[in-house]
Structure 1
Amino acid sequence: MSSSSKAASDLNPRTTHYEFLGPPGALAITIGVPAMTYALYFGCSESHGGCPPPIDTALILDSLSNPSWWKGLWDTKAALAYLAWYAFIVVAWVILPGDWVDGVPMRNGVTKKYKINAFSTALLTFGVVAGVIYRYGPEPLTFIYDHWLGLVTASILMAVVQGLGCYLASFRKGALLALGGNSGNPIYDFYIGRELNPSIGSFDLKSFNELRPGLILWALIDVGMVCEQAIRRGGFAKVTDSMWLVVAFQLFYVIDALYNEPAILTTMDITTDGFGFMLAVGDLAWVPFVYSLQARYLVFNQIELGPINTALIVLVNLAGYYIFRAANGEKNDFRNGRNTKNLQYMTTESGRKLLTSGWWGRSRHPNYMGDLLMAFAWSLPTGFNTPITYFYVTYFAVLLIHRERRDSEACKIKYGKDWDKYKKLVPWRIIPYVY
């Protein structure tokens, strides 16, 4: 073996541990995520009989075997609109000013720089939308509701193109691969992401997709649902309190994430995972079109909550946000050498410190508990007529449990016996005395 080949194999070792049950699981999720995105539309849609509609197995099988049904998933106007949206976001990244921030040093010794301007991109987007509504009224934004299915298809196709393009590009000489995405199995590596940080010059595709095209589109979709309901009810003043509540919660969450953009640079998505179909379809299709399900439901199931129910739901959301921010604040301060609350901690053999008091003494991931409370608050305004609008919080719980277990496995490798000691000091994974 030549020295250059050996260096490459040392830097990019073969992946020997599978996640998601290996290639069969990766294939199932690759098919399942788009299928579930469509299913949540057909299973909760006024044009298809309600939420859920009456189950007619014969009709479902007939539709799936009919080429016309499959052709109906395509919408040229929606595809062009989605491409225009993605192009707009890319151009905004290029032309809007932003600080260049260092990421976490990578194992090849390189520290990437990331342009931070997601928040200003959102402000530009909201400014354009406000101008359109002021000039033309809410009608233009109803395009989103009317062309929902085509927009979903366009976003999924974009994810497929990006996932496949990044997989093929990862075979070029000098590419830094994700430690978990170099198994040699094309199905698995395409799904999980083979290259760690695919980039075009200074344009990092993974960090760009993480916040901009999907997250801002989620907010834009919510605004579109308000506009659709306003048309039906005779103006914005008659939009239901449940719709305003869902949109306010979700817009605040999106804006908060965009404003704190540098925080994503230390997340597992950026530092550890490769960029493949998993992240692409999640960022581009799943986030905007699944997370906005509650707002879409409230377009055709218009619920008035009243002041008391509204106040209670607001309290649930505020409690979740407080826990989420307070926990992350403690962690970030401690990592940066500030311990103003005199929090207790244990020191590992490697010299690293693990918090054992404050929010991080209550559970190993108290921020996840805050996230789950907020997700629950987003579903509460839809009432209890259907479990489908609670899909998000159910899915999110499964996602966070899986992520917590991935993190625990990584920490076991990183800290060894010290991790076992830490787990005795902080026994609860996410919710104290529950899990």
Structure 2
Amino acid sequence: MIRKSAHKSTKDPASALNPRTTSYEFFGPPGALVVSIVAPLLTFGLSYGCSEKAGGCPGSWLQLPSDFAHAVADPEWWKAQWDPQGFVAYFAWYAFVVIAWAILPGEWVEGLPLRTGERLQYKINALSTLFLTLGAVGGLIWMQGPGSFTYIYDHWIGILTGALCMSLTQATYCYLVSFRPGALLALGGNTGVHNYDWFIGRELNPRIGWLDLKSFNELRPGMMFWLLINVSMACKQAVRRGGRITDSMWLVILFEGFYVVDALYHETALFSTMDIISDGFGFMLSFGDLMWVPFIYSLQARYLAWHPVELGPLWTTVIFALHGLGYYIFRSSNSEKNQFRNGKNPKNRTFMQTKRGTKLLTSGWWGMSRHPNYFGDLILALSWCLPTGFGTPVTYFYFIWFTLLLVHRQRRDDEACHLKYGDDWNEYKKLVPWRIVPGVY
């Protein structure tokens, strides 16, 4: 992670509770501005440059910008941007998820202590919301056929635009309300530079009543919509193939759907992540949750909707086994860590005692690398892309992006742990030298 020193204002002295942020991420305000512009453009570019209307996905990355530019130069392209039905449909979806959160039963759990000593409460019912949604969608498809759920495919751009507007609206709202008296700010989002704080997130836990916007957006509207997009793409393929979908489409729906269900099933694990503990809620997270995750992560299914790939029994088995390996590493390493944090060590793993009084695992999965769960995540990501074959590199964008994201997260974690443990962390890194992939990185 690259940090720059932020200017410390002498006119606005930082309080003890909300100290002024003295370092930047993403190359500071210029980097935040570039990401705020480029990330949405890239999402639209992948939608236009890699689509059925564009003739499929390009055979190289260099072709993608020219395809997008060619589309923009066409007057018909501009006419097609106005899709009020798709736009309204996205906001209706978001409203549905909010209503489901409010009316469906769910347990209230406490998060980790804030630096004020307070523990926020969160309602746990994401999985029941997903089951309600899938039940309604499944019933519709069962009664009226796959053609009844191609709406997302047919109104892709309008829905995509709605997601962008929602992410912009939420980021701006959360930034403005963060100036109210008593707001607890994120330690990394209080630089005093408007565009940077808007992007990175100024307030730590913005809420509307009991609704925690950050945790709600993290798992519900975007993650669930990702699965609905995949189902819609499968329905589009089925309509074109007489009701049948390919083995590659089945794998994508199964793998990515299982990932969504697993994340929602382990909803409480979200409250110990860096996103919830330390990051503010600004455009970076609102855009990532509402636009980037559902519309970029579903690229494989969208490609297969118009470019069917038949893998055959052998390659289906190989990819399925690779996915199983990734999930096993991801889940077993996380389980090992959670057990150890809760004072359990059933396999007598070795550990390092720190001066803070805490312990760091030095054997098992966490002795192989400092982030074995990231290693499992990378294998999972690759298994999602392989069913699309090798006709275009664009369907592997998720794997490339996810690799960069996890490397960035690992470096943030390393920096945070060094501040937390001091010299003990340097000793720990000697015992566990590999960052993510044992023997490689």
In the superposition, the TM-score normalised over structure 1's length comes to 0.95
Q: Does 1:125 align with 2:133?
A: yes
Is the CA contact (8 Å cut-off) linking 2:48 and 2:68 kept in structure 1? Answer: no
- Opposite residue 266 of structure 2, the aligned amino acid is N
Q: 2:46 aligns with which of 37, 40, 43?
A: 40
- Opposite residue 166 of structure 1, the aligned amino acid is C
- Distance 1:8-1:57 versus aligned 2 partners, 3 A rule: closer
TM-aligned CA deviation for residue 43 of structure 1: 2.0
Q: Does 1:153 align with 2:154?
A: no
Q: What's the CA shift string for 1:28-77, capped at 9, x where partnerless?
A: 11111101111111221111122118949888557547787455333100
Q: What's the CA shift string for 1:329-356, capped at 9, x where partnerless?
A: 0000000011001011101111111110
- Distance 1:71-1:272 versus aligned 2 partners, 3 A rule: farther
2:363 is matched with: 357
1:313 is matched with: 319
Q: Does 1:186 align with 2:200?
A: no
Q: Secondary structure at the match of 1:354?
A: strand
Q: Distance in 2 between matches of 1:67 and 1:166?
A: 37
2:432 is matched with: 426
- Distance 1:409-1:205 versus aligned 2 partners, 3 A rule: same
Q: Distance in 2 between matches of 1:301 and 1:68?
A: 24
Is the CA contact (8 Å cut-off) linking 1:74 and 1:153 kept in structure 2? Answer: no
- Distance 1:36-1:58 versus aligned 2 partners, 3 A rule: closer
Instruction: Spell out structure 1 runs of 4+ moving beyond 2 A.
Output: 5-8, 53-74
Q: Distance in 1 between matches of 2:36 and 2:12?
A: 33
Q: Distance in 1 between matches of 2:280 and 2:109?
A: 20
Q: Does 1:203 align with 2:205?
A: no
Q: Distance in 2 between matches of 1:56 and 1:273?
A: 33
Is the CA contact (8 Å cut-off) linking 1:191 and 1:277 kept in structure 2? Answer: yes
Q: Secondary structure at the match of 1:346?
A: strand
- Distance 1:56-1:411 versus aligned 2 partners, 3 A rule: closer
Q: Does 1:93 align with 2:101?
A: yes
Q: Does 1:302 align with 2:308?
A: yes
Identity %: 60
- Opposite residue 101 of structure 1, the aligned amino acid is V
**1:98-247, aligned counterparts within 5 Å?**
98-235=106-243, 238-247=244-253
Q: Secondary structure at the match of 1:100?
A: strand
Q: 225-234 or 69-78, which moves further after superposition?
A: 69-78
Q: Distance in 2 between matches of 1:35 and 1:158?
A: 16
- Distance 1:70-1:151 versus aligned 2 partners, 3 A rule: same
- Opposite residue 144 of structure 2, the aligned amino acid is Y
- Distance 1:406-1:193 versus aligned 2 partners, 3 A rule: same
Is the CA contact (8 Å cut-off) linking 1:349 and 1:418 kept in structure 2? Answer: yes
- Distance 1:53-1:312 versus aligned 2 partners, 3 A rule: closer
- Distance 1:113-1:33 versus aligned 2 partners, 3 A rule: same
Q: Distance in 1 between matches of 2:14 and 2:279?
A: 19
Is the CA contact (8 Å cut-off) linking 2:126 and 2:264 kept in structure 1? Answer: yes
Q: Distance in 2 between matches of 1:378 and 1:88?
A: 28
Q: 1:17 aligns with which of 15, 23, 31?
A: 23
1:78 is matched with: 86
- Distance 1:191-1:43 versus aligned 2 partners, 3 A rule: same
Q: 2:333 aligns with which of 324, 327, 331?
A: 327
- Opposite residue 279 of structure 2, the aligned amino acid is D
Aligned residues: 429
Q: Distance in 2 between matches of 1:389 and 1:57?
A: 16
Is the CA contact (8 Å cut-off) linking 1:265 and 1:271 kept in structure 2? Answer: yes
Q: Distance in 2 between matches of 1:60 and 1:400?
A: 28
Q: Distance in 2 between matches of 1:35 and 1:94?
A: 34
Q: Distance in 2 between matches of 1:343 and 1:59?
A: 54
- Distance 1:107-1:58 versus aligned 2 partners, 3 A rule: closer
Q: Distance in 2 between matches of 1:408 and 1:379?
A: 29
TM-aligned CA deviation for residue 140 of structure 1: 2.3
Is the CA contact (8 Å cut-off) linking 1:22 and 1:188 kept in structure 2? Answer: yes
Q: Distance in 1 between matches of 2:58 and 2:135?
A: 36
Please list every run of 5 or more consecutive structure 1 residues that lacks an aligned counterpart in the other structure: none
Is the CA contact (8 Å cut-off) linking 2:14 and 2:20 kept in structure 1? Answer: no
Q: Distance in 2 between matches of 1:133 and 1:57?
A: 37
Q: Distance in 2 between matches of 1:14 and 1:152?
A: 36
**1:360-375, aligned counterparts within 5 Å?**
360-375=366-381
Q: What's the CA shift string for 1:277-300, capped at 9, x where partnerless?
A: 000000000111100000010111
In the superposition, the TM-score normalised over structure 2's length comes to 0.94
Q: Distance in 2 between matches of 1:333 and 1:174?
A: 36
- Opposite residue 118 of structure 1, the aligned amino acid is A
- Opposite residue 88 of structure 1, the aligned amino acid is F
Q: Distance in 2 between matches of 1:84 and 1:279?
A: 21
Q: Distance in 2 between matches of 1:121 and 1:392?
A: 26
Is the CA contact (8 Å cut-off) linking 1:44 and 1:52 kept in structure 2? Answer: yes
1:50 is matched with: 56
Is the CA contact (8 Å cut-off) linking 1:242 and 1:381 kept in structure 2? Answer: yes
TM-aligned CA deviation for residue 135 of structure 1: 2.1
Is the CA contact (8 Å cut-off) linking 1:142 and 1:225 kept in structure 2? Answer: yes
Q: Secondary structure at the match of 1:11?
A: coil
- Distance 1:303-1:336 versus aligned 2 partners, 3 A rule: same
Please list every run of 5 or more consecutive structure 2 residues that lacks an aligned counterpart in the other structure: 1-10
- Distance 1:83-1:346 versus aligned 2 partners, 3 A rule: same
